[in-house]
Amino acid sequence: MTRRIVVRLLQAAAVLAVVATAVFVLLQFAPGDPFAAALDGTNVPPSVRMEWRARYGFDLPPAERFVRWIGALAHGELGYAASRHRPVADVVADAVPRTLLLVGVALALGFAAGILVGLVQARHHRRWPDRLLGALTLGGVAMPEFLLGLLAMTWLGARWRLFPVAGIASLGDTATWPAWERALDLLWHLALPAVVLAVGVAARVARHQRAALLGVLGEDYIRTARAKGLGEWRVLWHHALPNAIGPVLALLGLALPSLIGGAVLIERIFGWPGMGLTLFDALLARDYPLVLAAVLLATVVAVVARALTDVVAESVAPRRARIP
Amino acid sequence: MTALLDIRDLVVDYGAGNAHPAAVDGVSLTIARGETLALVGESGSGKTSVGRAILRLVEPAAGTMRFDGTDISTLAGDALRRFRRRAQVVFQDPKASLDPRMRVGDIVREGIAIHRLASHAKGDLRVTHLLEEVGLSAADVGRFPHEFSGGERQRIAIARALAVEPEFLVLDEAVSALDVLVRRQVLELLARLQAARGLTYLFIAHDLAAVERIATRVAVMHAGRIVETAETATLFSAPASPEAQALLAAIPKIPW
């Protein structure tokens, strides 16, 4: 077990190194610089621009900048986000919890709903609830998040005014509101983006959960459980589900990275000021230090999630570990 | 002879209708209270389907099944649950038939709980007694099925079946997966339990070797039908049907 964790950590470190290098190299090919917004299109003489570039080290050869960046990174120094006029670390510290909230709620909602749908489908295998939900989950897998997001925003937000169309808090002096009211306001703003993100997760989880349950339902111990006189729901919940949850939990590690990717678009659409929106804006502003930090952070989360999932999957599936 | 189980013209076709030959094609049999009827036949002859139909694990397409005078072929809901307390089953492969994620104590206790046969504390005591009755120890309640040998697992499966105090047991190839010595021990255990609890057995097997010591009567199945039913001694000394003769000829000679 310890050996496996060590191997996982080494793999994670290797992935991080490759991603860091690749992103840095790719950014060299991107046009523009962090001063584009401030200096482009104005009557700024080239000499001023050269001076700015020199002040922030953009005149150095890429190799040297890479070494400097890695060196700073090793000291925990993420640099200055010119587009925000703040240190990168501060921007990230503000944005990360918001994304974690969004992604965490979407993940929890998606898995809970997906497992439930999978259970219902397996319970009514090949009858109409199975077929109806199967069609819906297929649609859920196929539906692009941004499209669903725009539809939800248009109808639930703009037309019917059930939810706010964007942002993380209501306008006005919310700082003076009582805590519970602010929490409710946050949840109200969270609802649409979180549910939209959760739909894709739920659809994938449901399809895996259904398949895994149907595989297990043919086993002899399910027949034993039915012969005991257990009801069908108890058979599903107590005997089939624990034996069929493994492949679905393994999906957690895959869902998290794709959710973070999805969050970039969803945060942009719903104006949710998390890491996704930060990355999006940083890219447009050519704010390289912020882009690099955001991508690296996402990579860390993805790699760690993946490694954790494998470790967890092994510990919840004692058969795989203990029986050769 | 009072029949505990009386089956007439049972058909099981797994929903195939007339498209394929039925797995069970008009089987009639009776089992008297306290006896052991062996149901013997080659693979695919339909003997397991008969057992599953009796337990209502598959739905019969036609025929009547009466258990202790009650029609069991249309039971549902609570009535079906009550019937399943009285009729239990031990499957062939205990590695497959015991939930790999449940501890032995929970496996045995679940039936007691679902049929509300004992309070929680008394249930624990009963589980312990059952395990000891089948030759395991009270310390085994916290272990998982995969920690046991094949013979021990089958003892767990038997304890599990007995937990709800049934009158009737379907032993579906219950000793077929065991090696010859363990098989003899488990057969002895089954015989002892039958005598102590007055159980009635439907003993399903694919060969006659295991049957001789435990069966009162033997029914031979072939292609979904019963081709011969006879007292065990009669069948072994003077088999009438070619299928029974073939099965007898196939018994390996084991010196025990």
Domain-embedded: residue A290: yes
CA dist B73 and B243 (Å) reads 29
Residues 6+ apart with CB under 8 A from A110: A197, A198, A199, A200, A201, A202, A205, A255
Cβ of B100 under 8 Å from any chain A Cβ?
Answer: yes
| Phi (first) and psi of residue B215, to 5 degrees | -85, 140
Domain-embedded: residue A90: no
DSSP B65: E
Q: What CATH number has the domain bearing residue A226?
A: 1.10.3720.10
Q: Check whether residue A288 and residue A216 sit in a common domain.
A: yes
CA dist A291 and A81 (Å) reads 9
Q: Check whether residue A57 and residue A202 sit in a common domain.
A: no
- Amino acid at residue number A131: R
Q: Check whether residue A68 and residue A215 sit in a common domain.
A: no
Mutate to test the interface with B, among A221, A236, A237 (most CBs of B within 10 A): A221
Domain-embedded: residue A3: no
Please name the member of A223, A242, A319 whose beta carbon is closest to the beta carbon of B146. A319
Give tens-digit pLDDT for A259-287.
Answer: 888 899 999 999 999 999 999 999 888 88
Give the sheet arrangement for strand B62-67, strand by strand.
Answer: B24-32, B3-12, B62-67, B70-71
Domain-embedded: residue A86: no
Chain B residues touching residue A319 (CB < 8 angstroms): 100, 146
Closest CA–CA distance from residue B100 to any residue of chain A (Å):
8
Q: What is the pLDDT of residue A83?
A: 85
Residue given tokens 């255990």 in the structure block: B189
Closest CA–CA distance from residue A213 to any residue of chain B (Å):
14
Closest to A294 in 3D by CA, of A323, A255, A267: A267
Identify the domain containing residue B146 by its residue range.
3-249
Bridge partners, B62 (sequence order): B11
Cβ of B98 under 8 Å from any chain A Cβ?
Answer: yes
Counting as low any pLDDT under 50, the low residues of chain A are 320-324
Q: What is the pLDDT of residue A202?
A: 96
Using the beta-carbon criterion (under 8 Å), do A224 and B99 form an inter-chain contact? Answer: yes
pTM: 0.80
Q: Check whether residue A23 and residue A115 sit in a common domain.
A: no
Chain A residues touching residue B99 (CB < 8 angstroms): 221, 224-225, 239, 242-243
On the CB side of B98, CA atoms within 13 Å amount to 30
Closest CA–CA distance from residue A228 to any residue of chain B (Å):
6
Helix A275-284 / helix A88-123 crossing angle, nearest 10 deg: 130
- Cα A242 to chain centroid, rounded: 26
Through-space distance between the first and last CA atoms of chain A, rounded to whole angstroms: 15
Domain-embedded: residue B138: yes
Mutate to test the interface with B, among A125, A217, A228 (most CBs of B within 10 A): A228
Q: Check whether residue A144 and residue A68 sit in a common domain.
A: no
Bridge partners, B226 (sequence order): B221
Using the beta-carbon criterion (under 8 Å), do B55 and A224 form an inter-chain contact? Answer: no
Domain-embedded: residue A84: no
Q: Check whether residue A103 and residue A170 sit in a common domain.
A: yes
Using the beta-carbon criterion (under 8 Å), do B96 and A318 form an inter-chain contact? Answer: no
Total domains present in chain B: 1
Helix, coil or strand: residue A126: coil
Domain-embedded: residue A1: no
Q: How confident is the model at residue B120 (pLDDT cuts 50, 70, 90)?
A: confident
Domain-embedded: residue A6: no
Bridge partners, B36 (sequence order): B201
Question: Tokens standing for B163?
Answer: 């937990």
Closest to B103 in 3D by CA, of B124, B118, B72, B84: B124
Q: Check whether residue A52 and residue A129 sit in a common domain.
A: no
Average confidence (pLDDT) over B83-93? 94
Give yes or no for a contact between B220 and B229, defined as CB atoms under 8 angstroms apart.
yes
Domain-embedded: residue A71: yes
- Amino acid at residue number B79: A
Q: Check whether residue A295 and residue A244 sit in a common domain.
A: yes
Please name the member of B84, B93, B144 whose beta carbon is closest to the beta carbon of A228. B84
Give tens-digit pLDDT for B125-182.
Answer: 999 999 999 999 999 999 999 999 989 999 999 999 999 999 999 999 999 888 888 9
Q: What CATH number has the domain bearing residue B217?
A: 3.40.50.300
Domain-embedded: residue B255: no
Identify the domain containing residue A230 by its residue range.
98-322
Using the beta-carbon criterion (under 8 Å), do B57 and A226 form an inter-chain contact? Answer: yes
Helix, coil or strand: residue B28: strand
Chain A residues touching residue B123 (CB < 8 angstroms): none
Bridge partners, B201 (sequence order): B36, B169
